[in-house]
Amino acid sequence: MATRRLVLYGRSSSLNTQRVLWCLHETGVPFDLRLTSATLGESGRLGGTVFGGTEDPGFVRCSPFGQIPALSDSATGAQLWESASIIRYLAAVYKPSLLGPAVPAYRPKEAGYRLAQAARASAWMDYHLSTFAAGANIYGHDDFMGNLMTHLVRMPAGGAPVTVAAHGAQRQMQFCDETVARAADAAAAQFGRLDAHLRSAGTPYLAGDELTVADIPLGVEAFRWSLLRRRLPAGAAEAPAAPAAAAAPAAAA
């Protein structure tokens, strides 16, 4: 079978990979997913067999520090890593409407308006990286979504300690009720802010009336939160459900 022009390296259980998967499905462009991970495999639990693939020359060319997701596009020669950059690229090349409303060619004076709308959508992606997500502090004190996923889903059965590698560092982790409670409170507060914004703005999506790149990173987070809340102890993190505008498609789950 011929290789498709778009190749995505990652794993579907990764939040970062899920963002790109959602965007790819929005574009409708065929792609190959090559399961790649140095930390997790089919079981989805830490300490088990991993997918590997991080030594694949194609992946190494795309991702100099071995991080997923990574994307190769043989049609343009693009070799990218970092989910936000990949999403912006896919939107610009394959579905510009994800960047904001289009302006007809015969109305060039409105180009500034479109650029402003695109910048507003992009700002939500930057907010996700700078304020909402943990970034390089993965599994740290402030990584509430990472800690919830790790402690509620990925820890080895029986609660045995496990060594986790991330961003070139290793740390030993073990299930902790206090960590779960703290992370749940932080998640409830963050999603409460998004909920309040949507109510105040009166729009179905973060940047307006249409789905844009603004909704994809935070939408994937919201979808995961809607699942993790079901695993919390009774009475924990009493907060609104994930914002309705941020419901990721099942294909990105």
User: Residue 2: what pLDDT?
Assistant: 52
More confident residue, 247 or 176: 176
For the chain, what is the radius of gyration of the CA atoms? Answer: 19
pTM for the whole structure: 0.83
**Statement: residue 248 has pLDDT above 50:** no
Given 3-state DSSP classes, what are the helix, strand and coil percentages for the chain, each rounded to the nearest 5?
50, 10, 40
Contact between 252 and 22 under an 8 Å Cβ cutoff? The reply is yes
Distance (Å, whole) CA 238 – CA 234 = 9
Question: What confidence tens digit (pLDDT) does each residue in 29-66 have?
Answer: 999 999 999 888 888 777 778 899 999 999 999 999 99
CA atoms within 13 A on the CB side of 216: 30
User: Residue 108: what pLDDT?
Assistant: 61
The DSSP bridge pattern shows strands 162-166 and 70-73 to be unpaired
Q: Give which of 70, 79, 59 is closest to 20, Cα–Cα.
A: 70
Arithmetic mean of pLDDT over the chain? 84
Percentage of residues in the chain having pLDDT higher than 90: 54
